Amino acid sequence: MEQNPQKAPDLFLDMVDSDYDPLADPEADGADLDESDGQQGPHTDYQATAFYVSAPDDRSAAQRIEDLFAAMATRRRVLLDILEFLDAPQRSDALQQKVEKLQEYNASVYSGYNLSLLLEEAGAIQKVSEDGSQFDEETEQLPDVVEVDGLPFFKPTDGKQVFWLITAEGRAYLEADDPFGRLAELIAEEPQYQAIYKNLLEFCDNEAGRGVEELAALIDDDPLVQKPRRYFSYFVKKLEDGNALVWTKKWHTTASGKRGLELLFSEPGEAAPEEAAPDEAASEDERQGLRGGE
């Protein structure tokens, strides 16, 4: 068969049935098929069906808040500061700026928006209007009407401004928070390391703060941390979670940590190294002693 040398043969068209109509009714095409012919494609009138239904949450707001703080222990200080900030109604954008500042030296994948939604879901904060009244999300906000050359026109508005305010349950959790009590529990749980905790709090109790290299030099060669092998980062992390140390480019002793120095270490209570718990492998994070976010 001769072919036009100016045009390449269209092999695709040669393979397609000339009677094929891509717009034909898909039901008609499959009318004569049975199960042995294979699975047919979906009909055009098929609708997606949701199979996932969230389980009902019958926990009280107080329990949800407790569980949230337990699940996000590394964000505890930030979450508490958010509750303190929302003692009075605050604009949504002001809250985002506040969280950015709180996390300036403690980076996290959680933004102010994420944290506000988590706290709202737990029942610790709520959306309100500027005057503190309940925020009405259902009421439609109509555009402003302006007159130009005698004719009325709709003028778009900025939308209803969301404010955030702490709830009664959130306030109760905030008022019950006891960082000094947590520090006391930490010291009581590991009395063999009392001297280590005391040295760290005293060492970081200055205006300039201390760097990680300085803390490593202070702690890592101490006889108390050899068996089991511990590194300075193990103790710093516990003191940070207890709100006794804070990181702002350097480690600083907090007000709660200073109170602990006055009341928890008034008498020597160091235990001998052999009284420590059985040996266990130190983690890579402890050896590196790095400071990071989630």
Domain parsing of the chain, residue ranges: 61-139+164-176, 179-288
User: 112 pLDDT exceeds 90?
Assistant: no
What is the rounded CA–CA span in Å between residue 73 and residue 69? 6
What is the rounded CA–CA span in Å between residue 151 and residue 267? 84
What confidence tier does 288 reach under pLDDT thresholds 50, 70, 90?
A: very low
Contact between residue 216 and residue 187 where contact means Cβ atoms under 8 Å apart: no
What is the predicted pLDDT for the residue at 21? 63
User: 192 pLDDT exceeds 80?
Assistant: yes
The two tokens of residue 87 are: 């003692």
What is the predicted pLDDT for the residue at 176? 93
pLDDT cut 90: percent of the chain above it:
39
Query: pLDDT tens across 237-265, in order?
Result: 889 888 899 988 899 999 889 988 888 87
Measured between alpha carbons, how far apart are the two ends of the chain, in Å? 70
Contact between residue 245 and residue 238 where contact means Cβ atoms under 8 Å apart: no
Query: pLDDT tens across 53-89, in order?
Result: 556 778 899 999 999 999 988 888 899 999 999 999 9
User: What integer is the mean pLDDT of 139-154?
Assistant: 71
User: 195 pLDDT exceeds 60?
Assistant: yes
Burial zone of 270 (CB within 10 Å; 0-12 exposed, 13-18 middle, 19+ buried): middle
What is the predicted pLDDT for the residue at 242? 82
What is the predicted pLDDT for the residue at 279? 44
What is the rounded CA–CA span in Å between residue 115 and residue 88? 18
Sign of CA dihedral 162, 168, 173, 174: positive
Query: pLDDT tens across 177-187, in order?
Result: 988 888 888 88
The two tokens of residue 132 are: 């503190």
- H helix intervals, 74-178: 76-85, 92-102, 112-122, 168-176
CATH of domain 179-288: 1.10.10
Cis peptide before 228 (omega within 30 of 0): yes
User: What integer is the mean pLDDT of 102-131?
Assistant: 89
What is the predicted pLDDT for the residue at 6? 56
What confidence tier does 130 reach under pLDDT thresholds 50, 70, 90?
A: confident
